[in-house]
Amino acid sequence: MNIIVVASEAVPFAKTGGLADVAGALPRELAKLGHTATLILPCYRRVSNAGVPIRPTGVALRIPVGGRAVEGFINEADLPGSNVKVYLIDQPHYFDRPDLYQEKGRDYPDNCERFVFFDRAVLETIRLLKLRPDVLHCNDWQTGLIPVYLDELYRRREGFSAIGTLYTIHNLAYQGRFWHLDMPLTGLDWRLFNWRHLEFHNQLNFMKAGLVFADMISTVSPTYAQEIQTSALGCGLDRLLHDRRDELRGIVNGIDLDEWSPSNEPMIAKRYDATTVREGKAACKAHLQRIASLPEDPDIPLFAQIGRLDPQKGWDLLAEVADDLLTRPVQLAVLGEGLPQYHDFLRHLATQHPGKVRAFLEFSKPLAHQIEAGADIFLMPSRYEPCGLNQLYSLVHGTIPLVHSTGGLADTVVDTNSETLADGSATGFVFHEYTAAALRHTIDRVLGHWPDRALWNRLMQNGMRSDWSWAHSALSYVELYGAVQQRAIAWRSHRTAVGRVL
């Protein structure tokens, strides 16, 4: 098959979150399976600092945006370690900026215009370079208009009639909602600005556009695929998702084991695998305690958290239980940046509990690896979690995850109890009710099990021996692409017969 993956970020070019890990890894795995995979991304300023050579193709773009023709260029690169071609949509006014979507916590005011340009530019790139994909795989709100442009403006052009579209939700909470007067920027007919198509509470909604127009929809775990059909986690789009449930799938992300395996990582103090985890983790823990300026003590349980400092990640619960936790003999290392209130909270926590807490309020790849390798327990009490990557990184590092049972966390971490210990499936600690009391109780369970080194060792082994490589997930995507193609053929013939019925 010929697959084009379109995303607004991908490792190693530009990353703000888990989407980049997926968009960087999936095309490489598809290529390994013998498919033709191509990646299309915006050419942000930081792309040129990614250490990957970028070449101009010499192909120019002229994209209509709100009645103007905006010029751009197509650059190309190779996805390292693969034969995947990457096309980078270059438009300096839109993308030569310090960050991807926002600066100092404020979204760029022209985000709608920037991604209108990008989405139309993707289809022009396919036309001009004659890429002829079987499936166009779009991801998150930034690519939501692509299936619309395909149906409305490109279907009748040569090479476009049979393209199937898959739209993957990585986080339903970020929808790309803009005021209605941005609609003319899209160049799409106002007739589409209605509640069955692009309109959502009188706003233009990119995510909704993708969900309505794509042949099939997926999200990044089976549990999240169910949860987003409920009013609690559907972010207002639950009815639409429920209506399309036959075309909705959940595939858990893989992880890039070349990058995230303690037997490979160059930046950790000592490399280790499942057979050498005790010595390896001891060395990495001592190193982490040193760089975090925490007392070097092998026996004290070292808790960790890495990620966006955002209410989604369970910081309200963590704030409630933190003082309680830190009166015990424990240490806590946090790496993250996000809402100023959580920065203040963590600074305050560190002064209240000297020698027990270290908060690195920054984005640092080496620290993320060193914390995963050196910590004993990874706290991930997310309110909701479409897939989550850090619990998977924790599992492969023998760092025991403590998670709320939601989304991908529910699908990847197995709670420790007599049954799961007996059958060897226990890998972590899971709580069900999203309350501080339930989290506190689970921390008590963790600390109750910590002194039993034999049991702890079994938990580490179970996690490290589980297989989270991309190979599985990529096979599931290939199967889904096949279903997308079939659905696309069936829909197209139906639509030709009766017109668009949505």
∠ CA 210-216-219, nearest 5°, is: 80
- Closest CB to ligand ADP among 212 and 306? 306
Residue 256: CB minimum distance to ligand ADP, A:
10
User: By Cβ distance, which residue is nearest to ligand ADP?
Assistant: 18
> Minimum distance between the CB of residue 313 and ligand ADP, rounded to whole angstroms?
7
Least distance (Å) between residue 341 CB and ligand ADP:
17
CB of 147 to ligand ADP, least distance (A): 23
Closer to ligand ADP by Cβ: residue 198 or 371: 371
C-beta closer to ligand ADP: residue 63 or 252: 252
Indicate the residue among 379 and 387 with the shorter CB distance to ligand ADP: 387
User: Kind of pairing, strands 164-169 and 377-380?
Assistant: unpaired
Measured in degrees and rounded to the nearest 5, phi and psi for residue 354 equal -60, 140
Q: How far apart are CA 379 and CA 326, in angstroms?
A: 14
What are the contacts of 183-190 at 24+ separation with CB within 8 A?
184/66, 184/67, 185/65, 185/66, 185/112, 185/113, 185/116, 186/116, 186/145, 187/64, 187/65, 187/66, 187/67, 187/116, 187/120, 188/145, 188/148, 188/149, 188/152, 189/152
> Is residue 306 a contact partner of residue 279, using CB atoms and an 8 Å limit?
no
Residues lying near ligand ADP in the complex (CB under 6 A): 17-18, 21, 306-308, 335-337, 363-365, 368, 387-390
Shortest reach from residue 343's CB to ligand ADP, in Å:
12
Residues 436, 441: Cα–Cα separation, whole Å = 8
Query: Closest approach of Cβ 251 to ligand ADP, in Å?
Result: 14
Measured from the CB atom, is 306 or 430 closer to ligand ADP?
306
Least distance from ligand ADP to the Cβ atom of residue 103, Å: 17
At residue 248, what are phi and psi to the nearest 5 degrees?
A: -110, 130
Task: Spell out the SS3 assignment of 348-386.
Answer: HHHHHCCCCEEEECCCCHHHHHHHHHHCCEEEECCCCCC
Cβ closest to ligand ADP, residue 98 vs residue 448: 98
| Residue number, 365 or 453, with CB nearest to ligand ADP | 365
